[in-house]
Amino acid sequence: MTATTAPEAALAVLPKADGSSKYSYAGYTVTGSVTGPVEAPRRDEHPYEAHVDVIVRPAAGAGGTRERHLESVLQSTLSQLILVKNFPRSLVQVVLQVEVTPENDYVNTKLVQASLNFPIIPALLQTAILALLSASLPMRGIATASFVAIVSRDGTKQTLVNPSPRDLDFAQSVHVLVFTSHDELLLAESEGDFTVGEWDDVYDTAKKICCQCGGPGKKDIEMMLDDQDHGGPDMRQFLRSTLETKVAADLHWK
C-alpha cells in the first residue's frame, strides 16, 4: 500500500472484544481492540477516574523502547478524549497490534530512533479511535491525526503528507499533529530543524486533512484525494463514512 491509497477501515472485527477495528493507510495495517470499562487492578485503581491502558505490539518480535514511547503518547492522548471521570476505579484497555508496515520501515540511517515512531502514530491513533467508537465508550469527541514532513531536495523544500520511508531519508523535520472534532489541537510532536513559518505551513496542511469535512457528497472526497497540494484524504469525513457504513449494515435487517 502506498501513501496515496485511500484509507480503509472495518469495525467489530474481533467478536470477543467489547470493541475492535482494523485500519489500513500509508502502508500500515493495525488491528485494535478495546476492553472495558472493567474493574481495575489495585495498582492502577484511581478513586475518581478510569485508568486508560494502551498496549502496542509490533509486527515482529517483542516490544521494546519504541513501543513504550508510543504507548505513553497514545495513553495521554486517549485519556483526554475518553470521559474517564464517568468510570471511577475502572480500567479501559486498548490493545493495538501492528500487522503490516511499509518496506524499509526500520531502515533509516538519518533520523534518530525517536523519529521512527512518528509515521505510525496516526495509524495507531485512528485504529484506537475506531475501536473506542465500536465499543460505544463515551468520549468528549473524536480525533484525527496527520503525519507531515518537510523534505529538502536539491536546495528546495517541500511539505509532504505521509511521506514514504525513502522520502524520510531527505526529511529536514517530521511532525505529527492531532486535532479533535472541535478543531482543537490535541497533540503536536515535532523533531528536526524547522522555522516558525515552516511549522505554520505544517499546521495548516495537517488541519486541512484532519478538520475540513468533505460534506455529504463523495465528490469532495475524490477531489481531496486527487489534490496534490492537500496531500491526503479528509480524515474526519472518512471516520464518519466508516461509522455510517457500519450502522447501515447493522440495521439492514430492519
* Sign of the alpha-carbon dihedral angle for 113, 232, 126, 61: negative
Q: Which of 107-121, 142-156, 202-216, 219-233 has the lowest mean pLDDT?
A: 219-233
Give the sheet arrangement for strand 185-192, strand by strand: 156-161, 143-153, 171-180, 185-192
**Quick one: cell of 219?**
465528490
Tens of pLDDT, residues 69-90: 999 999 999 999 999 999 999 9
pLDDT band at 170 (very low <50, low <70, confident <90, very high): confident
Measured distance CA(46)–CA(139) in Å, rounded: 19
Strand positions, DSSP E, the chain: 8-11, 19-25, 28-39, 51-57, 90-100, 143-153, 156-161, 171-180, 185-192
pTM: 0.87
Classified as helix, coil or strand, 238 is helix
Half-sphere exposure in the Cβ direction for 38 (13 Å, CA) = 11
**Quick one: cell of 129?**
479511535
**CB burial string 73-97: b at 16+ within 10 A, e below:** bbeebbebbbebeebebbbbbbbbb
pLDDT band at 114 (very low <50, low <70, confident <90, very high): very low
pLDDT over threshold 70, residue 126: yes
